[in-house]
Structure 1
Amino acid sequence: MNQLQPIIQNSQRVLTTIQLAEAFGTESKIINRNYQRNLERYVQGKHFFALSGEDLREFKGSRQFDDSLKFTSILYLWTEKGAWIHAKSLNTDQAWDAYEKLVDEYYTIKDNIVPLSKDQALVTVLRTTADLVEDTQAIKQEQNELRKLITTVDFKVEEQITLTSGEQRRLQKGVAARIYEMESDSQARSRLFRELHREIKDRFGVASYKDVKRKELQSALRYIENWVPRKVS
């Protein structure tokens, strides 16, 4: 990773989109696309700073030799937490390795470190814990929504899927076995075949035995095994 010129915003180090993309081995448009697709995850002041207007003009003036900023109307500066979300979105070995190096060599300001008091250290720990809990709760919420969606899809699939060709043959064999077990006369068999097929359609609410729901196959086979024709007066 090339030596980065530190950029300080609100007393913390940040990176431009171009710097972050180069570090992660990707393109600025990919970083921007991931941001646009996950807007609800990013909080200004926590994950990034967006500079425009006078703030942007002052920033450009402090980096007047940076041609990449010439036509920029809104500049995004990414904090350590923002870089973590981008690394998670990219989810490549290079992005994660680069993120670790950024944390160790860039985001953590090692010079002129002033030891924290016990109260300051406690506040820092509590804030970090709160951030982790917030991220964990968001992940759990996403997992719950995903489980609900999967359950809904599974239910719809189970309600709509019908017999496969092999299951249709199995049902037909069951019908034939029951009819031949009950009747030896060929003409009578034809009548019984028609009657049993009609009752299967009526019982399972389908236009054809082929439309029987897959989940009802065992129920249909038991019905056929125990079927008794109506008496003809």
Structure 2
Amino acid sequence: MAKKTELVAVEAKDLQIIEYRGQRVATTEQLAVGYGATEQMITNNFNRNKTRFVDGKHYFKLRGEEVEILRNSFSGVQISSKARSLTLWTERGAANHAKILETDQAWEYYNDLTEFYFTRRDAIAAPVDAMQLLNDPSTLRSLLMNYSGDNERLKGENQQLVSTVESLEKHFTKGMTIPAFCKCLNGVNINKMMWWAFERNWIFNEQRDPEKSARWRVASYARDTYLTEDEMEIKPHGKEAFTKKTPVLLEKGCHRLYALYMKGELPMKATWNGEYSHDKAAYTPEEKQ
């Protein structure tokens, strides 16, 4: 009997890019191999946790002709000729599977997917045949005009990005909490940010009593990557002293929050004016109580 070839995980930055309905997605096979699981494990985890997955938000289900179109459009993606349906996972769907598997490999690969795959980048232009251009001046003029326009656009975007990153680094203060940082981002509902971070597995609630206020701690996924913890000793009068731990942002966490803000992933106020901007004056740490 022929031995089945073992699939090797492809680095996130080298994955065949698949876009569906305006966003990048990954196949079950890509997730399984990268996460150190099997396709059946991914499918089983989905079936057992269907309440945690929303169609159109965490995944897309393709059937019939849609599968055939995808198979013909992306030759680098292996799709069985027998497949009559196909599930494509969004960034949030991939995050849910990493949470369910809860392994170091799954979280590390999801981190790479987030940084190098799901974050959209401009496509690299295909090589152009120089002789063909010389024989077709109109095509050459068109390409030059497009290049000039794209060059100016990219130059402007790069200048804005450099300015933003410099601003973030200049005004980022060690010990800043997630709500404090988000005060600088126009329109963000800071009252929902900790629960948003909880849903993305950046933090968890150590308080088991639902009647009491949440006691947030940094989750393993985000620890030392996006967040760390500040510790403060509290000495209540007449009671035993205890240590209060507060999740605070690292610089990479600050940059990641801003990137998600620009992608429209953060909870926004109902009164938000639709503009993505930041206020330098708001980059100050919260006063410790």
With normalisation by structure 2, the TM-score equals 0.41
TM-score by length of 1: 0.50
**Which one has a larger percent helix, Structure 1 or Structure 2?**
1
Which has the higher Rg, Structure 1 or Structure 2? Answer: 1
